[in-house]
Amino acid sequence: MTEREVVLVLITFPEDGDVASFATCLVEERLAACVNVLPAVESVYRWDGAVARARERQLIVKTTARGVEALRARVVQLHPYEIPEFLQLPVTGGDDRYLAWVRAGVQVPASSALIDDAAGPDPTRRG
């Protein structure tokens, strides 16, 4: 995969969390060209040895292969979960104009120092 290739990243977010601020921050910081926030879903998963359930929002994030690591670092800083979902999916095709738009919308910071803990939603940890 080349660094210019477009990728999708899946992230879940708590239904009662400030998903709008979270998604807006990723786009404003140019870590993502677009974030789709889907309606609430119920997730069933194993956590701390027990089966758990949570109402969550599924996010579909459009970024580039080059931007994935900066996006991942920012998600870890901002996300309220101890271990947030972060699944990277390659895009194997699409409209060339749309793919160019995604590439143009993502700018990778020169250094991770640009990523500031004070910006974005208040991260409260869920364990």
Domain assignment of residue 30, yes or no:
yes
Contact 114, 42 (CB under 8 A): no
Q: Is residue 120 part of a domain?
A: no
> Tokens in use for 90?
């390659």
- Residue 122 domain-assigned (yes or no): no
User: Which residue carries 């069933």 as its tokens?
Assistant: 44
Residue 74 lies in a domain: yes
| % of the chain residues with pLDDT over 70 | 84
pLDDT at residue 125 is higher than 90: no
pLDDT at 45 > cutoff 70:
yes
Q: How many domains does the chain have?
A: 1
Instruction: Give the whole-angstrom CA distance, residue 125 versus residue 21.
Output: 17
112 pLDDT band, cuts 50/70/90, is very low
Whether 27 is covered by a domain: the verdict is yes
Which pLDDT band, with edges at 50, 70 and 90, does 124 fall under?
very low
With respect to residue 33, please indicate whether it lies within any of the assigned structural domains. yes
Domain that holds residue 12: 6-106
Q: How confident is the model at residue 1 (pLDDT cuts 50, 70, 90)?
A: low
Can you give the pLDDT at residue 121? Answer: 43
Whether 93 is in a domain gets the answer yes
Q: Tell me the C-alpha distance between 33 and 35, whole Å.
A: 7
The verdict on residue 61 lying in a domain is: yes
CATH of the domain at 62: 3.30.70.120
Exposure class string for 9-19: b at 16+ Cβ within 10 A, else e: bebbbbeebbb
Q: What is the pLDDT of residues 47-90, one digit of tens each?
A: 999 999 999 999 999 999 999 999 999 999 999 999 999 999 99
Alpha carbon distance 119, 121 (integer Å): 7
Are 115 and 77 spatial neighbours (Cβ–Cβ below 8 Å)? yes
- Taking the C-alpha atoms of residue 120 and residue 36, their distance in angstroms, rounded to an integer, is 18
At 107, the pLDDT band (50, 70, 90 cuts) reads very high
